Protein backbone atom coordinates (compact mmCIF):
# COMPACT_ATOMS: atom_id res chain seq x y z
CA UNK A 1 0.00 0.00 0.00
CA UNK A 2 1.46 3.39 -0.98
CA UNK A 3 1.95 6.01 1.78
CA UNK A 4 -0.81 8.39 0.66
CA UNK A 5 -3.37 5.57 0.69
CA UNK A 6 -2.07 4.19 3.97
CA UNK A 7 -2.67 7.55 5.66
CA UNK A 8 -6.29 7.71 4.49
CA UNK A 9 -7.06 4.08 5.35
CA UNK A 10 -5.60 4.41 8.84
CA UNK A 11 -7.48 7.65 9.52
CA UNK A 12 -10.84 6.24 8.46
CA UNK A 13 -10.12 3.04 10.38
CA UNK A 14 -9.75 4.98 13.64
CA UNK A 15 -13.13 5.96 15.07
CA UNK A 16 -13.30 9.66 16.00
CA UNK A 17 -16.83 10.74 16.85
CA UNK A 18 -17.14 14.37 17.98
CA UNK A 19 -15.59 14.75 21.42
CA UNK A 20 -13.71 11.45 21.08
CA UNK A 21 -11.02 12.34 18.54
CA UNK A 22 -7.89 11.79 20.65
CA UNK A 23 -6.80 8.44 19.19
CA UNK A 24 -6.94 9.79 15.64
CA UNK A 25 -5.30 13.13 16.45
CA UNK A 26 -2.47 11.36 18.28
CA UNK A 27 -1.97 9.13 15.24
CA UNK A 28 -1.62 12.22 13.04
CA UNK A 29 0.68 13.96 15.50
CA UNK A 30 3.06 11.01 15.27
CA UNK A 31 2.63 10.44 11.52
CA UNK A 32 2.55 13.87 9.83
CA UNK A 33 6.32 14.54 10.04
CA UNK A 34 6.87 11.50 7.81
CA UNK A 35 4.69 13.21 5.18
CA UNK A 36 6.90 16.30 5.03
CA UNK A 37 5.59 18.50 7.84
CA UNK A 38 8.23 20.30 9.92
CA UNK A 39 6.35 19.83 13.19
CA UNK A 40 3.02 18.66 14.51
CA UNK A 41 1.31 19.03 17.87
CA UNK A 42 -2.03 18.93 19.66
CA UNK A 43 -3.26 22.33 20.81
CA UNK A 44 -5.26 23.17 23.95
CA UNK A 45 -8.57 22.36 22.24
CA UNK A 46 -7.35 18.96 21.02
CA UNK A 47 -6.86 20.00 17.38
CA UNK A 48 -4.00 18.47 15.42
CA UNK A 49 -1.82 21.28 14.04
CA UNK A 50 1.15 20.94 11.66
CA UNK A 51 3.24 23.46 9.77
CA UNK A 52 5.87 23.88 7.06
CA UNK A 53 7.92 26.95 6.22
CA UNK A 54 8.66 30.09 8.19
CA UNK A 55 7.37 32.91 6.02
CA UNK A 56 4.88 35.60 7.03
CA UNK A 57 2.34 34.69 4.35
CA UNK A 58 0.31 31.75 5.64
CA UNK A 59 -1.95 29.40 3.72
CA UNK A 60 -4.18 27.62 6.21
CA UNK A 61 -5.60 24.19 5.41
CA UNK A 62 -8.50 23.79 7.84
CA UNK A 63 -10.14 20.37 7.93
CA UNK A 64 -11.90 18.44 10.67
CA UNK A 65 -11.08 15.13 12.25
CA UNK A 66 -14.40 14.38 13.95
CA UNK A 67 -17.36 12.51 12.50
CA UNK A 68 -20.96 11.86 13.38
CA UNK A 69 -21.74 8.39 14.82
CA UNK A 70 -22.78 5.42 12.71
CA UNK A 71 -21.79 4.71 9.16
CA UNK A 72 -21.04 1.61 7.13
CA UNK A 73 -18.55 -1.00 8.34
CA UNK A 74 -14.95 -0.01 7.60
CA UNK A 75 -13.85 -1.85 4.47
CA UNK A 76 -11.32 -1.40 1.69
CA UNK A 77 -12.47 -3.14 -1.46
CA UNK A 78 -10.41 -2.68 -4.61
CA UNK A 79 -10.80 1.03 -5.50
CA UNK A 80 -13.38 2.05 -2.85
CA UNK A 81 -12.93 2.81 0.84
CA UNK A 82 -16.04 2.43 3.01
CA UNK A 83 -16.35 3.90 6.49
CA UNK A 84 -17.56 6.82 8.55
CA UNK A 85 -15.47 9.87 7.70
CA UNK A 86 -14.26 8.63 4.33
CA UNK A 87 -16.17 11.53 2.74
CA UNK A 88 -17.00 13.83 5.67
CA UNK A 89 -14.26 14.72 6.03
CA UNK A 90 -11.18 12.58 6.62
CA UNK A 91 -10.75 12.22 2.88
CA UNK A 92 -10.29 15.98 2.61
CA UNK A 93 -7.96 16.09 5.63
CA UNK A 94 -5.80 13.30 4.21
CA UNK A 95 -5.58 15.20 0.90
CA UNK A 96 -4.46 18.28 2.86
CA UNK A 97 -1.86 16.27 4.76
CA UNK A 98 -0.32 14.69 1.65
CA UNK A 99 -0.48 17.66 -0.75
CA UNK A 100 0.47 20.23 1.88
CA UNK A 101 3.35 18.04 3.01
CA UNK A 102 4.97 17.73 -0.38
CA UNK A 103 4.31 21.05 -2.17
CA UNK A 104 7.45 23.20 -2.51
CA UNK A 105 7.32 26.17 -0.10
CA UNK A 106 8.93 29.31 -1.57
CA UNK A 107 10.64 31.92 0.65
CA UNK A 108 8.21 34.14 2.52
CA UNK A 109 5.48 31.51 2.81
CA UNK A 110 4.29 28.89 5.25
CA UNK A 111 1.55 26.28 5.11
CA UNK A 112 -0.39 25.27 8.23
CA UNK A 113 -2.61 22.23 8.57
CA UNK A 114 -5.36 22.09 11.21
CA UNK A 115 -7.47 19.01 11.84
CA UNK A 116 -10.19 20.56 13.97
CA UNK A 117 -12.25 18.76 16.58
CA UNK A 118 -16.02 18.98 17.10
CA UNK A 119 -16.93 20.51 13.74
CA UNK A 120 -20.04 18.34 13.73
CA UNK A 121 -21.23 19.75 17.09
CA UNK A 122 -20.12 23.19 18.26
CA UNK A 123 -17.03 23.94 16.10
CA UNK A 124 -14.93 24.53 19.21
CA UNK A 125 -11.80 23.42 17.35
CA UNK A 126 -12.08 26.03 14.60
CA UNK A 127 -13.17 28.72 17.08
CA UNK A 128 -10.04 28.02 19.14
CA UNK A 129 -7.82 28.71 16.10
CA UNK A 130 -9.46 32.03 15.13
CA UNK A 131 -7.20 34.27 17.21
CA UNK A 132 -4.09 32.22 16.39
CA UNK A 133 -3.99 32.88 12.64
CA UNK A 134 -4.33 35.71 10.18
CA UNK A 135 -3.95 33.71 6.99
CA UNK A 136 -3.29 35.11 3.54
CA UNK A 137 -5.58 32.38 2.21
CA UNK A 138 -7.59 29.48 3.59
CA UNK A 139 -8.84 26.18 2.18
CA UNK A 140 -11.59 24.36 4.10
CA UNK A 141 -11.66 20.57 3.94
CA UNK A 142 -15.16 19.48 2.92
CA UNK A 143 -16.30 17.17 0.10
CA UNK A 144 -16.81 18.95 -3.20
CA UNK A 145 -15.76 16.14 -5.51
CA UNK A 146 -12.40 16.12 -7.27
CA UNK A 147 -13.53 18.63 -9.91
CA UNK A 148 -15.72 20.78 -7.66
CA UNK A 149 -14.89 23.90 -5.64
CA UNK A 150 -17.30 25.16 -2.98
CA UNK A 151 -17.77 28.92 -2.83
CA UNK A 152 -20.32 29.22 -0.04
CA UNK A 153 -22.46 27.72 2.70
CA UNK A 154 -25.71 28.75 4.29
CA UNK A 155 -25.67 29.98 7.87
CA UNK A 156 -27.76 28.64 10.72
CA UNK A 157 -29.89 29.65 13.67
CA UNK A 158 -30.25 26.99 16.36
CA UNK A 159 -32.65 27.64 19.21
CA UNK A 160 -34.73 25.84 21.84
CA UNK A 161 -38.38 26.57 22.55
CA UNK A 162 -39.40 25.64 26.08
CA UNK A 163 -42.24 25.94 28.51
CA UNK A 164 -43.41 24.60 31.87
CA UNK A 165 -46.24 24.95 34.35
CA UNK A 166 -47.22 23.60 37.75
CA UNK A 167 -49.69 21.11 36.28
CA UNK A 168 -53.25 21.16 34.99
CA UNK A 169 -55.78 18.90 33.33
CA UNK A 170 -55.45 18.65 29.55
CA UNK A 171 -59.22 19.08 29.13
CA UNK A 172 -58.98 22.65 30.40
CA UNK A 173 -55.38 23.64 29.55
CA UNK A 174 -53.46 21.89 26.73
CA UNK A 175 -50.20 22.87 28.40
CA UNK A 176 -46.59 23.55 27.33
CA UNK A 177 -46.14 20.40 25.26
CA UNK A 178 -49.01 21.37 22.98
CA UNK A 179 -47.81 25.00 22.95
CA UNK A 180 -44.31 23.91 21.85
CA UNK A 181 -45.67 21.68 19.09
CA UNK A 182 -47.95 24.46 17.82
CA UNK A 183 -45.18 27.07 17.93
CA UNK A 184 -42.75 24.75 16.14
CA UNK A 185 -45.34 24.03 13.44
CA UNK A 186 -46.01 27.73 12.97
CA UNK A 187 -42.27 28.50 12.72
CA UNK A 188 -41.74 25.72 10.19
CA UNK A 189 -44.63 27.07 8.11
CA UNK A 190 -43.23 30.60 8.36
CA UNK A 191 -39.81 29.45 7.07
CA UNK A 192 -41.51 27.49 4.27
CA UNK A 193 -43.42 30.62 3.27
CA UNK A 194 -40.12 32.45 2.70
CA UNK A 195 -38.71 29.72 0.47
CA UNK A 196 -38.49 30.22 -3.28
CA UNK A 197 -37.88 26.85 -4.87
CA UNK A 198 -36.53 28.24 -8.14
CA UNK A 199 -33.52 29.82 -6.40
CA UNK A 200 -30.15 28.16 -5.64
CA UNK A 201 -30.06 26.37 -2.29
CA UNK A 202 -27.74 28.97 -0.71
CA UNK A 203 -30.45 31.60 -1.29
CA UNK A 204 -33.24 29.50 0.28
CA UNK A 205 -34.10 29.06 3.98
CA UNK A 206 -35.08 25.74 5.49
CA UNK A 207 -36.00 24.46 8.93
CA UNK A 208 -36.05 21.15 10.77
CA UNK A 209 -36.76 19.84 14.26
CA UNK A 210 -33.52 18.49 15.73
CA UNK A 211 -35.09 17.03 18.89
CA UNK A 212 -38.08 17.39 21.17
CA UNK A 213 -39.19 16.15 24.57
CA UNK A 214 -41.89 16.74 27.11
CA UNK A 215 -44.39 15.26 29.53
CA UNK A 216 -47.93 16.05 30.51
CA UNK A 217 -48.07 14.74 34.07
CA UNK A 218 -47.58 16.60 37.30
CA UNK A 219 -45.29 19.57 36.64
CA UNK A 220 -45.55 19.79 32.87
CA UNK A 221 -42.48 20.57 30.78
CA UNK A 222 -41.65 20.62 27.07
CA UNK A 223 -38.92 21.71 24.67
CA UNK A 224 -38.27 21.66 20.94
CA UNK A 225 -34.83 22.14 19.39
CA UNK A 226 -35.12 23.85 15.99
CA UNK A 227 -32.41 24.17 13.33
CA UNK A 228 -32.98 26.96 10.79
CA UNK A 229 -30.67 27.19 7.77
CA UNK A 230 -30.12 30.85 6.96
CA UNK A 231 -29.63 31.93 3.34
CA UNK A 232 -27.26 34.51 1.89
CA UNK A 233 -28.71 37.98 2.38
CA UNK A 234 -30.50 37.19 5.66
CA UNK A 235 -28.96 37.48 9.11
CA UNK A 236 -29.71 34.97 11.87
CA UNK A 237 -30.60 37.87 14.19
CA UNK A 238 -33.22 39.20 11.80
CA UNK A 239 -34.79 35.74 11.52
CA UNK A 240 -34.81 35.40 15.31
CA UNK A 241 -36.59 38.75 15.60
CA UNK A 242 -39.27 37.56 13.16
CA UNK A 243 -39.73 34.25 14.97
CA UNK A 244 -39.86 35.58 18.53
CA UNK A 245 -43.47 36.93 18.37
CA UNK A 246 -44.68 33.40 17.56
CA UNK A 247 -42.87 32.09 20.62
CA UNK A 248 -44.11 34.89 22.87
CA UNK A 249 -47.73 34.47 21.77
CA UNK A 250 -47.59 30.81 22.83
CA UNK A 251 -46.25 31.76 26.28
CA UNK A 252 -42.89 30.03 25.67
CA UNK A 253 -39.23 30.86 26.13
CA UNK A 254 -36.71 30.97 23.28
CA UNK A 255 -33.00 30.28 23.89
CA UNK A 256 -30.64 30.82 20.97
CA UNK A 257 -27.97 28.11 21.18
CA UNK A 258 -25.83 29.17 18.21
CA UNK A 259 -25.95 31.23 15.06
CA UNK A 260 -23.71 31.77 12.04
CA UNK A 261 -24.04 34.02 9.02
CA UNK A 262 -24.08 32.53 5.55
CA UNK A 263 -20.91 33.25 3.57
CA UNK A 264 -20.01 33.05 -0.10
CA UNK A 265 -16.97 34.13 -2.10
CA UNK A 266 -16.94 35.08 -5.77
CA UNK A 267 -15.81 32.89 -8.64
CA UNK A 268 -12.79 35.19 -9.10
CA UNK A 269 -11.59 34.78 -5.51
CA UNK A 270 -7.82 34.00 -5.78
CA UNK A 271 -8.20 30.58 -4.16
CA UNK A 272 -11.14 29.68 -6.41
CA UNK A 273 -9.23 30.83 -9.49
CA UNK A 274 -6.21 28.72 -8.52
CA UNK A 275 -8.41 25.64 -8.10
CA UNK A 276 -10.15 26.26 -11.41
CA UNK A 277 -6.79 26.44 -13.18
CA UNK A 278 -5.49 23.30 -11.46
CA UNK A 279 -8.62 21.33 -12.32
CA UNK A 280 -8.39 22.39 -15.98
CA UNK A 281 -4.72 21.40 -16.08
CA UNK A 282 -5.83 17.86 -15.20
CA UNK A 283 -8.20 17.86 -18.16
CA UNK A 284 -11.44 18.45 -16.25
CA UNK A 285 -14.11 21.14 -16.25
CA UNK A 286 -14.37 22.89 -12.84
CA UNK A 287 -17.71 22.85 -11.07
CA UNK A 288 -18.53 25.81 -8.79
CA UNK A 289 -20.75 24.85 -5.86
CA UNK A 290 -22.77 26.48 -3.09
CA UNK A 291 -23.93 24.25 -0.23
CA UNK A 292 -27.06 24.13 1.87
CA UNK A 293 -25.29 23.09 5.07
CA UNK A 294 -23.10 25.06 7.44
CA UNK A 295 -19.41 24.34 8.02
CA UNK A 296 -16.25 25.76 9.58
CA UNK A 297 -16.13 27.74 6.32
CA UNK A 298 -18.59 30.15 7.95
CA UNK A 299 -16.30 30.60 10.95
CA UNK A 300 -13.17 31.03 8.81
CA UNK A 301 -14.98 33.85 6.98
CA UNK A 302 -14.09 36.06 9.95
CA UNK A 303 -10.48 36.13 8.74
CA UNK A 304 -11.64 38.00 5.65
CA UNK A 305 -9.09 36.27 3.42
CA UNK A 306 -9.44 34.50 0.05
CA UNK A 307 -10.91 31.06 0.61
CA UNK A 308 -12.76 28.07 -0.81
CA UNK A 309 -13.75 24.59 0.33
CA UNK A 310 -12.38 21.51 -1.38
CA UNK A 311 -12.12 17.77 -0.95
CA UNK A 312 -12.85 14.43 -2.61
CA UNK A 313 -16.14 12.59 -2.29
CA UNK A 314 -19.85 12.93 -2.89
CA UNK A 315 -21.37 15.14 -0.17
CA UNK A 316 -24.74 13.39 -0.63
CA UNK A 317 -23.11 10.46 1.19
CA UNK A 318 -22.32 12.57 4.29
CA UNK A 319 -23.77 11.07 7.48
CA UNK A 320 -25.28 8.11 5.62
CA UNK A 321 -24.83 4.35 5.82
CA UNK A 322 -23.47 4.45 2.24
CA UNK A 323 -20.46 6.67 2.95
CA UNK A 324 -17.58 5.68 0.69
CA UNK A 325 -14.74 7.25 -1.27
CA UNK A 326 -13.31 6.19 -4.63
CA UNK A 327 -9.54 6.05 -4.35
CA UNK A 328 -8.82 7.42 -7.82
CA UNK A 329 -10.74 10.55 -6.81
CA UNK A 330 -8.66 10.80 -3.64
CA UNK A 331 -5.38 10.57 -5.59
CA UNK A 332 -6.56 13.06 -8.19
CA UNK A 333 -7.58 15.53 -5.48
CA UNK A 334 -4.09 15.39 -3.97
CA UNK A 335 -2.58 16.38 -7.32
CA UNK A 336 -5.09 19.21 -7.82
CA UNK A 337 -4.54 20.64 -4.33
CA UNK A 338 -0.74 20.48 -4.68
CA UNK A 339 -0.98 22.32 -7.98
CA UNK A 340 -3.36 24.89 -6.45
CA UNK A 341 -1.08 25.60 -3.49
CA UNK A 342 1.93 25.95 -5.75
CA UNK A 343 0.08 28.41 -7.97
CA UNK A 344 -1.05 30.49 -4.99
CA UNK A 345 2.44 30.75 -3.50
CA UNK A 346 4.39 31.25 -6.72
CA UNK A 347 2.07 33.59 -8.58
CA UNK A 348 0.77 35.81 -5.77
Instruction: Give the catalytic positions in this structure.
Output: 66, 119
To the question of pTM greater than 0.75 for the whole model, the response is: yes
Per CATH, 3-153+262-346 and 155-260 having the same topology is answered no
Q: What residue spans define the domains of the chain?
A: 3-153+262-346, 155-260
Distances (CA, A) of 66 to 185, 250, 273: 32, 38, 29
CATH fold of 3-153+262-346: Aminopeptidase (3.40.630)
pLDDT score, position 215: 81
Top-level class of domain 155-260: alpha beta
Phi, psi of 265 (to 5 degrees): -100, 165
Write the DSSP assignment of 7-62 as a string of letters. Answer: HHHHHHHS--BTT--HHHHHHHHHHGGGGT-SEEEE-TTS-EEEEEE--SEEEEEE
Q: Per-residue confidence at 216, pLDDT binned at 50, 70, 90?
A: confident
Q: Is the pLDDT of residue 167 over 80?
A: no
Report whether the peptide linkage leading into residue 101 is cis, meaning its omega lies within 30 degrees of zero.
no
Q: Which residue, 96, 89, 207, is CA-closest to 154?
A: 207
Q: Are 308 and 139 in contact (CB under 8 A)?
A: yes
pLDDT digits (tens, 9 = 90+) for 257-283: 999 999 999 999 999 999 999 999 999
CA dihedral 178, 181, 185, 187 (to 10 degrees): 110
Q: Which helix (H) or strand (E) element contains residue 2?
A: none
Q: Which of 100-109, 218-227, 287-296, 299-308 has the lowest mean pLDDT?
A: 218-227
What DSSP state is assigned to residue 93?
H
pLDDT digits (tens, 9 = 90+) for 188-209: 999 999 999 999 999 999 999 9
Q: Which helix (H) or strand (E) element contains residue 200?
A: none
Instruction: Classify 297 as helix, strand or coil.
Output: helix
Amino acid sequence: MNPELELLVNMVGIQSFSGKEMECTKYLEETLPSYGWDKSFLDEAGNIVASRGKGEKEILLLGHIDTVPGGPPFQLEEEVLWGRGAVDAKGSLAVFAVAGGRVAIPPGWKVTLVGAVCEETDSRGALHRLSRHQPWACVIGEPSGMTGVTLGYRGHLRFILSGKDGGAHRSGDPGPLTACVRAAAEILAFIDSRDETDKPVIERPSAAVASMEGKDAGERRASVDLDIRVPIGTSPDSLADMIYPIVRDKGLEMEVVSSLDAHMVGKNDPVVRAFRTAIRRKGHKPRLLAKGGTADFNIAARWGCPMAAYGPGDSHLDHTSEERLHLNEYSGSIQILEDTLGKLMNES
